[in-house]
Copies of this chain bind each other. A is one copy, B any other.
């Protein structure tokens, strides 16, 4: 299972040795991003072996005409695809007349990749003997600037080891690219201007239909033995391509470097007509700083991120590498600067899932960003959904809902639903509840109530309306029921009364009404604005509350558990332990009907509810439900192990918690699912962070205070993490001997540890 070629290291991801079979996987694992753009770790120079090329720009997508087998009313017409963007990293390298191509060299040795997570750069180096017997050493260092987020920089070094060599560097821009996952081989980009000036070139393209204008630019510098060379390149351009060719002679042992600054300026951030001049300006600024100075800034920027976000694990280098990889990738993907952006499940590492927004953000990612960044970042994520409220209302209207009820999309780029599977698109409606939960979670953590009157309440009202309309009254049960849904366990479809969905629906209505009351009494102006806009009256509120009050929850007296859905006990309840290994993963081995009628659970479903609403259940109830459901859970979603890890820790089952933790933290590094070449599982990485902080550390917010129940896996000597809580930064250090807390800031902080109150003074160490 474990492909295990990544060298253990505390701070870097390291690959040693060149293996054609690993190239696509490594392209994913060594991906870099800066929140605004990103790319797979494709080689700069020509490579004719198997590769999956990908460069991506945040927020730039294409509405690819959807492909379905059998159309159903209500299906959206398109699926928003993250676009493979024009390639700016390419550098063709020719040595003594031979094009460098690792797939064709006589020998390749000392091949090494390093993704330095501490400092935010990626480097690849190797020795090669060309077919013309020139021996060379190549080292390429690349990063995407956090400071100038429209710029990336490459330092490409070539040393001739055995003879004099004529080296040609041909850095290029290529807008003639496609997506691997197009539905109908449509053309996604229209390139309309290719220009060059001196050492720079620019290509302006726009996306078809969505009309995002992007200028892809590059500016190059040539060095020999560290000295900048004043040479003029030979230019080649065509409709979608521009290259600048540099020639340099190197003696044996001498090194030449090409510094390439490149990247994108986008009409999302500039006037359309200014993108080319903006590109020129920012590349000029970068090149004038120079590669090394820009890299220094990069190191400082990452250092600042790590200061808050790092988790230190003592005594387990692979675990340490795993958690840092997760934290690093989350920060590469989303930095919270722009409320138009969100966290795609593959980040900037691949095309799969369309790179759009899922409920993963609300259910899994927000806690990480709340605890490791300024609270505005989480607020931006909430605002993203507020900005999409009108589209969510339209989406609900397509399904027959009225009166401002909203259904947030399963998959989206701009607020419109993209996904087309009726059992998901129309029925996996629990996602709507996650939107309200995220608001509650934000308020609970940050204490910032202002979001609710300003934006949140409107979202909550529209969602409560949805649940009100979606529930129907069963005269047979004399309760409100919610029929025909898919829960978080997507291995059951079109089920009735999914406990998690019903519970969320009831809670969303009640929490909404609670906040209507509060806003009414404390934020009169906002209240009046909202009521005028939503036309919400007391009669409707009463009707909603009736649905909440009389909501039906399937329950088994025999097992003393809430049932995942009405029919769960009719299934053949054979636990995963008793399922032959040859049958797994069931989603690759079984036909869909067999999966659906099996008791096997893809990811936490009832337990997802117990995770989100932990306070509302006793530990005994949690234990009973965990013991009932986990044995049927196959964890075939990357989002599954983290919730179970947290709950196992809560139940003092540290061995089990640790096993789940391992499964989540190195999922991609060790390629458990044999699919890392398609890209990384970005959103589930937030779950890994939760496994440590909420699971082992036991972090909760109770009564506006942080609460901890620190535990530690026996395999570790210690671990430490930081949380930003209401402008105090608390450093928590857990070891086998005990826990210490260290508070930054000016005010003391009252916390709970294992249920007891402690007051921590600023800038002092407290041991428990």
Interface residues of A (CB under 8 A from B): 66-70, 72-74, 398-400, 420-423, 426-427, 472-477, 481, 483-484, 493-497, 558, 566-567, 569-573, 587-594, 596-597
Q: Which residues of B contact A570 (CB under 8 A)?
A: 472, 474, 476-477, 481, 483, 496-497, 566
Kindly state the separation between the CA atoms of A215 and B494 in the bound complex, as whole angstroms: 50
The distance in angstroms between the C-alpha atoms of A569 and B552, with both chains bound, is: 14
A68, A398, A422, A570: residue with the most chain B Cβ atoms closer than 10 Å: A570
A399 touches B593 (CB 8 A): yes
Name A73's closest neighbour in chain B (CB-CB). Answer: B591
A497, B74: Cα distance in complex, Å: 28
Q: A573-B475, A597-B483 are in contact. Are A74 and B592 (CB under 8 A)?
A: yes
Do A597 and B70 touch (CB < 8 A)?
A: no
Instruction: Give which listed residue, B67, B399, B494, contacts A494 with CB less than 8 A.
Output: B494
Which chain B positions have C-beta within 8 A of A596? 483-484, 494
Known: A472-B597, A473-B572, A493-B494. A591 touches B483 (CB 8 A): no
CA of A399 to CA of B592 in the docked complex: distance in angstroms? Answer: 8
Taking the nearest CB of chain B, how far is it from the CB of A573, in angstroms? 7
Chain B residues positioned under 8 Å from A571 (CB to CB): 472, 474, 483
- Is the pair B591, A72 in contact by a Cβ cutoff of 8 Å? yes
Q: Indicate if the CB atoms of B567 and A483 lie closer than 8 Å.
A: yes
Query: Is B426 within 8 A of A591, CB to CB?
Result: yes
**Nearest neighbor of A586 in chain B, beta-carbon distance:** B73
Given contacts A474-B571, A483-B567, A567-B567, 18 further A-B contacts (CB under 8 A): A68-B68, A72-B591, A73-B591, A74-B592, A399-B594, A400-B590, A422-B591, A423-B494, A426-B591, A426-B592, A427-B593, A472-B572, A475-B573, A483-B570, A483-B596, A484-B596, A494-B495, A566-B570
Pair A591/B496 contact, Cβ less than 8 Å: no
Q: What's the number of copies of this chain in the assembled complex? A: 2
Chain B residue with Cβ nearest A494: B494
Interface hub of A399, A426, A474, A567 (most chain B Cβ within 10 A): A567
Contact of A400 among B477, B587, B591 (CB under 8 A): B591
How many Å lie between the Cα of A495 and that of B495 in the bound state? 8
A400 to chain B, nearest CB (A): 5
Closest 5 CB pairs of A and B: A74-B591, A426-B593, A476-B569, A483-B597, A484-B597
Given A570-B483, A570-B496: A73 and B592 interface contact (C-beta under 8 Å): yes
Given contacts A72-B591, A421-B70, A597-B483, contact A567 B569 (CB under 8 A): no
Q: Which residue of B lies closest to A574 (CB)?
A: B472
A247 to B588, CA, bound (A): 67
Indicate if the CB atoms of B474 and A591 lie closer than 8 Å: no
Query: In whole Å, how far is A473's beta carbon from the nearest beta carbon of chain B?
Result: 7
CB distance from A516 to the nearest CB of B (A): 27
A596 to B72, CA, bound (A): 12
Chain B residue at minimum C-beta to C-beta distance from A426: B593
Cα(A475)–Cα(B569), bound, Å:
8
Q: Is the CB of B422 within 8 A of A593?
A: yes
- Can you list 25 contacts pairing A with B, beta carbon distance less than 8 Å? A66-B69, A67-B67, A67-B69, A68-B69, A69-B420, A72-B592, A73-B589, A74-B590, A74-B591, A398-B591, A422-B591, A422-B593, A426-B591, A472-B572, A474-B571, A476-B569, A481-B570, A483-B570, A483-B596, A493-B494, A494-B494, A496-B567, A496-B570, A497-B570, A566-B566
Name the residue of chain B whose CB is nearest to the CB of A479: B570
Q: In the complex, how many angstroms separate the beta carbon of A550 from the nearest chain B beta carbon? A: 14
* A73: min CB distance to chain B, Å: 5
A572 to B476, CA, bound (A): 10
Residues of B within 8 A of A69 (CB): 66-69, 420-421
Q: Which residues of B contact A472 (CB under 8 A)?
A: 570-572, 597
Residues of B within 8 A of A494 (CB): 423, 493-495, 596
Contacts of A400 in B (CB 8 A): 590-591, 594
Return chain B residues, CB-CB under 8 Å to A592. 72-74, 422, 426
Q: In the complex, are the beta carbons of A484 and B593 less than 8 A apart?
A: yes
Most buried by B among A474, A567, A593: A593
Which of A497, A588, A594 has its CB near the most chain B CB atoms (within 10 A)? A594
Shortest Cβ gap from A565 to chain B (Å)? 10
Q: How far is the CB of A632 from chain B (nearest CB, A)?
A: 14
Bound CA–CA A406/B598 (angstroms)? 20
Task: Looking at the assembled complex, report how far the CB atom of A583 sits from the nearest CB atom of chain B, in whole angstroms.
Answer: 9
How distant is the Cα of A207 from the Cα of B72 in the complex, in angstroms?
32
B73, B427, B493, B566: which contacts A587 (Cβ < 8 A)?
B73
